[in-house]
Structure 1
């Protein structure tokens, strides 16, 4: 674990033994793989201090050195902060995980929209004295519920974006699909592209973007003729789980856009868990998102 203290706009990180082969430049560029522009800006503005002094960026760091990083410099929110009750599943100085309800967009689709989850998280941070340009790290469809990750500052946002790209942010979904899915587990590896006949639909298409969905059967419910499954994604294409499961003849219950029956008011898809190694503290984080639907859509897991 990497320990730190808050010093105003700064995080003071104590150099662990494993960093003593790095200098400040290689720590940022090679260890953290931080964005070049951000590193350049910090270097030119002399914003980073080591042991209270403007450092030589090429000098080797020593265990116990104290580095001040300007992580928490105020940034004006890029969206209009809007009050709305939130279920916070995990929060620290760098990240926040929200349990997203159905019927809410992850982010605004136009500048005048102010009722997305991003607007609500911006207000939440502002109300806690954190003037932040919060960033969503991934998205959930408007009517998908569950855990969604936001970054509170640019540096951690860039690290999490890279982790997501490298599949180091693990997301597990629950889905209720029509019919008896007989396979115990499987992988759908089919590219996804736009449906030229419908503005919001996607479809399996040879010319689409690569998309990989892994699924595992949890249980079949013969009375309802539905199967409860878990899914994990190697990619994050729009409507990926919905398109892939429909393509094998098992659309999500309630997902009328992709062939599901309208037995629920939304598609039966929930982001149950979110797992990652915290990019700053290096602690393993695993977050569970309780079900939100009333009456419940998903059966009890026991």
Structure 2
């Protein structure tokens, strides 16, 4: 039996909103497995926010860049938010995003590529930046989308400078439409992606493991109703349709009018949505919680 620590209980509580004792029981039932504990809470109806995204726990910037038929997005992390306001750091992120347009989204290849305007690698430039600013930094991830005919539009939420912010989105639209109109639609879809947080482009793109996991949770919830098996299966079918409407971009309700489906908006424009990407700064990164008062007290004793 795995040891259930206070830190594990706290993390589960933050992610689900369930009570402390329920979180401890869920972790015990799942032998310390966090995702299993989340499922256990959902099945028991004790989790109000099991799908809540992880807390943003890292600083830095998301940067986007675009060219004819291509768009790139990168995330560069630093230790504090002060660095994100540093012009030198901002310029570095912008250059890395532009570099990704030609290099691609392999992070190691990006690090090895010659940094624009120098004779050394991007990683060496980053090392120099770390020495200058005095904080640890890393190029965490990158994404590049391309289209044969159309545009890859971008959107940055609450940008600190053009193309730089804490949430970035890329949208690949194939169409023979006028590029300016297509860019506008792509930007609107980017705003939708930033707000609605889709997980897949279309129903076929939904990961089978995620779908089966959802069906398992729904099946146990429906079984608790005491209804006949055939009725339960129909209930599950209806709820899976609702699930698709929540996580599939093309099936989601268009945030700009609250009525249309995204697929209807794209079809009306005569285009085809072939891909999207969404980066939120620090998502999925765990950051140690610190007690500032205790830290100061400890320093004063030293």
Q: Scaled by the length of structure 1, what TM-score is found?
A: 0.25
Name which structure has the greater RCO, CA cutoff 8 Å, separation 6+.
2
Structure with the largest fraction of strand: 1
Structure with the largest fraction of helix: 2
